[in-house]
Structure 1
Amino acid sequence: MINPFLPSLARLSVYGITHLQKQSPLMVAWWSAVFPGLGHYLLNHYIRATFLTLSEVSINTFAHINDAMIYSFCGKFELAQSVVQPKWAFGYLIIYMISIWDSYRLTRYQNKLYELTCLKNEPILRVGIFPSEIQFLDRKKPSVGAIYSFLFPGLGQLYVHRFGLSFYTIIWWWIYLYSSRLHESLLQLVLGNLHASILILQPHWLLFMPSVMGGAIFHAYTTVIEHNKLYRTAQRQYLTNRYRKDEYFIFHKQV
């Protein structure tokens, strides 16, 4: 029996479009392993995802996890062991593992909710007009969202109307750029000062950046795809209701 209290697949609010979608639990868990919180962002759990990302950056910094990883990559295992702070590292490990499992568990459950909600076929609202924002479903290009996030993480989220997440990501990307001194290092590299370029870099902060950029690109790309699906579903619902009594086949399925 379908739960009569299930909402539609998407809900428009002043903060953007929150929606149910079917995803691979392993893929979501993998993104949580890459950077705790990214998997929950893919599931539209924005509050807990934000707290997990803040926890990742702060506890990782206190425990010197990234520093230990860098020493390990260089084969300096004694330095890696000496730099780690156990009082923070054990807590970091617990939160890290639980975030992976929680995102995996939530994905499996939300996939079931998605299937039940599709069966109910509640109308999807396509336009929401609020005092401070206008939200709407429209067709976009996934590649554009991915390119925006590649050029500057957060712009892809702005493209898909998740402006809260967009500005949060943009602010943190500026923090990573400033703390890692990546732009200064690239400038020295362009000028031919390879040794100075390496010395300027702050590896602890630099190590966060590939995960954040990759997560922003993947989130923007998949979100555009899902919004396009929602747009087609909403359009199909409208046309079905509009021409329900007519004797025309709006959608013809070839056998």
Structure 2
Amino acid sequence: MNNFNPTNKERRFKAYVSSIGTTQLHLRNPYIIAWWSAAFPGFGHLLLSKYLRGYALFLWEILVNNMANLNHAMVYSFTGNIGMAKEVLDPRWLLLYIPVYLFGIWDSYRTTVDMNKVFMLAERENADFPTYTIGAFEVNYLDKRRPLMAVIWSLFTPGLGQLYIHRVLTAIFTMAFMIVFVYSSQILVAIHYLFLGEIAQATQVIDPQWFMFIPSHVGFAVYDSYVNTVENNKLYESEQRKFLKNHYQQLRVRFPASVNEVK
């Protein structure tokens, strides 16, 4: 069991290892985080490990987007059918959508800037943090993983890359909604018709309103698993470096000189 007990003299910690995942501070590009919030509200906050805020915005996006038929209208606009795009849009829900959408982008950018400042302070303080935890349901510890493997598993099924690096909450969330998107969009049925050569039938059976959620969802799973694998590796190296320095660097060990060195 983890016996780490933070004290008041250590104001900031770079990371925390718990049974459901590793949460850490590291430098992020505010524009990239804001872009992910624009691609899908909530994703920017999930990248920052702001889970409650991210889940709230994510669920809001699914609800209001579906009520406004926004994805359906986007498909029509992509194909040049502006008239149909205007017809399917529900202005009551669309006007509700815009303020929260803009807030998600602004807040993720602002939070990233603030968290970068906190990281710089935590990096300078370099306080101890838990690196190993064991409980009744899970074991989690810092170690090095391969970013490429996280990407490959995320491409197979979004959420598996997060499981690979022990981001349990994000993994469960990502996999659950991937099932919802795939089932509601009927994309697997459309793929079945494509294998049979029935392209027209595949086009008709797919639901564009739900299908448009999938590209952003897959992209987020890949990016999140890759970035967090890289940052977890850096965190492992940083903690290992500090441990070796504190426990072994002060020891002065005299090695016997070889014959060649004596000459």
Residue aligning to 2:23: 18
Q: Is the 8 A contact 2:30 2:112 kept in 1?
A: yes
1-side partners of 2:124 and 2:9: how far apart?
11
Partner of 1:231: 236
The aligned counterpart of 1:92 is 97
Task: For residue 34 of structure 2, give the secondary structure of its aligned residue in structure 1.
Answer: helix
Count of aligned pairs: 246
Matches of 2:174 and 2:96, distance apart in 1: 25
Structure 2 distance, partners of 1:153, 1:49, is 17
Of 155, 160, 185 in structure 2, the residue corresponding to residue 155 of structure 1 is 160
Q: Secondary structure at the match of 2:17?
A: strand
Distance in 1 (alpha carbons) for counterparts of 2:252 and 2:41: 53
Confirm or deny: 8 A CA contact 1:20 1:110 kept in the other structure.
yes
What is the identity, as a one-letter code, of the residue corresponding to 1:82? E
Q: Which moved more, 1:225-234 or 1:70-79?
A: 70-79
Look up the match of 2:169.
164
> Partners of 1:142 and 1:80 in 2: how far apart?
40
The unaligned stretches of length 5 or more in structure 1 are 249-255
Q: Which amino acid aligns with 2:233?
A: N
Structure 2 length normalisation: TM-score?
0.91
TM-score (norm 1): 0.93
TM-aligned CA deviation for residue 123 of structure 1? 1.8
Larger Rg: 2
- Whether contact under 8 Å (2:143, 2:236) holds in the other structure is yes
Q: 1:110 aligns with which of 85, 110, 115?
A: 115
* 2:78 aligned residue: 73
In 1, are the aligned partners of 2:12 and 2:121 still within 8 Å (CA)? no
Work out whether residues 125 and 234 of structure 1, in 8 Å CA contact, stay in contact via their aligned partners in 2: no
Task: Say which of 133, 138, 142 aligns to 1:137.
Answer: 142
Are positions 1:57 and 2:57 aligned together? no
SS of 1:140's equivalent in the other structure is: coil
1:67 Cα deviation after fit: 1.0
Runs of 4+ in 1 over 6 A off after TM superposition: none
Shift of 1:4: 4.8
Task: List runs of 5+ in structure 2 lacking aligned partners.
Answer: 1-7, 254-263
Is contact 2:185-2:211 (8 Å) kept? yes
Match of 2:203 among 195, 198, 203: 198
SS state at 2:11 partner: coil
Residues 1:220 and 2:225 are matched in the alignment: yes
Q: Structure 1 vs Structure 2: percent identity of aligned residues?
A: 37
Taking the TM superposition and a 5 Å limit, the aligned residue runs for 1:27-46 are 27-46=32-51
CA contact (8 A) 2:10 2:127 kept: no
Please tell me whether the aligned partners of residues 73 and 84 of structure 2 are also in contact (alpha carbons under 8 angstroms): yes
Q: Alpha-carbon deviation of 1:14?
A: 2.4
Query: What residue is the counterpart of 1:180 in the other structure?
Result: 185
1:198-218 deviations in Å (ceiling 9; x for gaps): 111111111000000001100
Q: Secondary structure at the match of 1:8?
A: coil
1:124 aligns with 2:125: no
